[in-house]
């Protein structure tokens, strides 16, 4: 039982609860150790392993909270140095306006779009968007952001890109979702419009389409890609190419394939 006493009380309490033991606020460390040791489910090696895991998780969570406070403090400092409107002074924290992100039930691109709308409606300055967003993310996603360079973390657009990349939301992903999205039974048509707008915006923003000319080139290039084989598409996805340039690449590709068919490579005998 000696090794149990080396761990912190909070870790011992968690282990005891996982073992189904009842712990009261009056229990001392030695009392908790005795309950764990006397449990019919007690195995020394298992207990050691579990306590190590519990201790590491606590240290990780503590480090995350410290980093989170650091980011929040930096964002608030920057915000205080900027000129705010009267509405932003009276803003509410966004964590009281929307639910935390749940990757099992919500798509990240839709969630970020809703977040941006709520942030603007609440009068939150864009300098504060990162710190406000982190409070809505689960630990694993927040850690991904924290591990990025500090200067990049302060820019919401950089954080948004990191999250979209994490969930593999690339230009082709947005295009497929935009063209193939199906209305769910009972869904409002207004909801369909919102979803389609989100996918379309994600598609053109990911390809850095800024004007009508760029949009026209994208539409034409998309029509060309729809008419070629999938293995050919893989060479040109996720990048915006001038329609004529894309056509030239496709012609060149087909020319090479045709040459290979006419002159097949012979295996040495």
Residue 8 resides in a domain: yes
**pLDDT category of residue 82 using cuts at 50, 70 and 90:** low
8 A C-beta contact, residue 224 and residue 247:
yes
User: What is the C-alpha to C-alpha distance for residues 38 and 21, in angstroms, rounded to an integer?
Assistant: 10
Task: Count Cβ neighbours within 10 Å for each residue of 82-120 and write b for 16 or more, e otherwise.
Answer: eeeeeeeeebeebeebeeebeeeeebbbebbbbbbebbe
User: Is residue 82 helix, strand or coil?
Assistant: coil
Q: What is the pLDDT of residues 151-166, one digit of tens each?
A: 778 889 999 999 999 9
Count of domains observed in the chain: 2
Statement to judge: residues 68 and 97 lie in one domain? no
236: tokens are 């040109």
105 and 163 housed in the same domain: yes
Domain shared by 102 and 165, yes or no: yes
36: in domain? yes
**pLDDT one-digit tens code per residue, 174-205:** 988 998 988 888 888 888 899 999 999 999 99
Same domain, residue pair 107 and 160: yes
What pLDDT does residue 136 have? 92
Q: Residue 238 has what pLDDT?
A: 54
Q: Domain for residue 227, yes or no?
A: no
pLDDT of residue 261: 53
Which of 105, 139, 169 is the endpoint of a domain? 169
Is 158 found in the same domain as 102?
A: yes
> pTM for the whole thing?
0.54
User: Last residue of a domain, which of 130, 146, 169?
Assistant: 169
Domain presence at residue 107: yes
Look at residues 167, 134, 135 and name the one whose alpha carbon lies nearest to residue 148.
134
Which pLDDT value is given to residue 42?
Answer: 81
Quick check: is 155 in a domain?
yes
Q: pLDDT grade, residue 247 (50/70/90)?
A: confident
What pLDDT sits at residue 241?
58
Q: Compare 71 and 16 and report the one with higher pLDDT.
A: 16
75 and 97 within one domain? no
- Same domain, yes or no, for 120 and 58? no
Query: Mean pLDDT over residues 70-77, rounded?
Result: 64
Residue 63 shares a structural domain with residue 123: no
The pLDDT score that the predictor gives to residue 152 is: 76
**pLDDT value at position 86?**
47
- The DSSP result for 236-252, as a single string, is TTTS---HHHHHHHHHH
pLDDT at residue number 83: 46
For residue 235, pLDDT over 90 is answered with no
- Pair 59, 102 in one domain: no
Confidence class for position 239, pLDDT limits 50, 70, 90: low
Q: Does one domain contain both 139 and 72?
A: no
Range of the structural domain that residue 67 is part of: 4-79
- What digits encode the pLDDT tens for the residues 42-55? 887 887 888 788 88
Q: Is the pLDDT of residue 71 over 80?
A: no
For residues 82 and 63, what is the distance between their CA atoms, to the nearest angstrom? 29
Which residue among 151, 169, 187 closes a domain? 169
Confirm whether 132 is domain-assigned.
Answer: yes
163 and 124 share one domain:
yes
What was the pLDDT predicted at 153? 80
Residue 215 lies in a domain: no
Same domain, 75 and 119: no
Q: What is the pLDDT of residue 254?
A: 76
Q: Does 63 fall in a domain?
A: yes
């Amino acid at each position: 039982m000696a090794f149990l006493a080396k761990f912190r009380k909070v870790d011992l309490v968690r282990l005891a609860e996982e073992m189904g033991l009842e712990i009261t606020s009056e229990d001392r460390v030695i009392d908790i150790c005795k309950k764990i040791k006397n449990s019919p489910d007690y195995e020394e090696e298992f207990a050691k392993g579990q306590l190590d895991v519990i201790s590491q998780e606590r240290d990780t969570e503590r480090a995350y909270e410290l980093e989170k406070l650091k980011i929040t403090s930096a964002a608030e400092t920057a915000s205080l140095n900027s000129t705010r409107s009267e509405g932003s002074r009276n803003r509410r924290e966004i964590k009281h306006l929307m639910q935390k992100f749940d990757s099992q039930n919500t798509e990240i691109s839709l969630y970020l779009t809703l977040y941006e709308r709520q942030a603007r409606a609440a009068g939150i300055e864009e300098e504060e968007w990162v710190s406000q967003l982190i409070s809505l993310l689960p630990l694993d996603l927040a850690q991904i952001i924290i591990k990025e360079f500090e200067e990049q973390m302060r820019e919401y657009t950089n954080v948004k890109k990191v999250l979209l990349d994490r969930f593999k939301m690339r230009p082709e992903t947005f295009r497929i979702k935009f063209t193939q999205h199906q209305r769910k039974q009972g869904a409002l048509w207004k909801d369909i419009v919102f979803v389609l707008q989100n996918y379309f915006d994600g598609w053109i923003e990911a390809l850095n389409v800024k004007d009508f000319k760029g949009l026209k080139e994208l539409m034409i290039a998309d029509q060309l890609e729809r008419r070629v084989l999938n293995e050919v598409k893989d060479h040109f996805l996720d990048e915006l190419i001038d329609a004529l340039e894309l056509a030239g690449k496709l012609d060149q590709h087909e020319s090479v394939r045709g040459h290979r068919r006419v002159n097949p490579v012979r295996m040495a005998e």
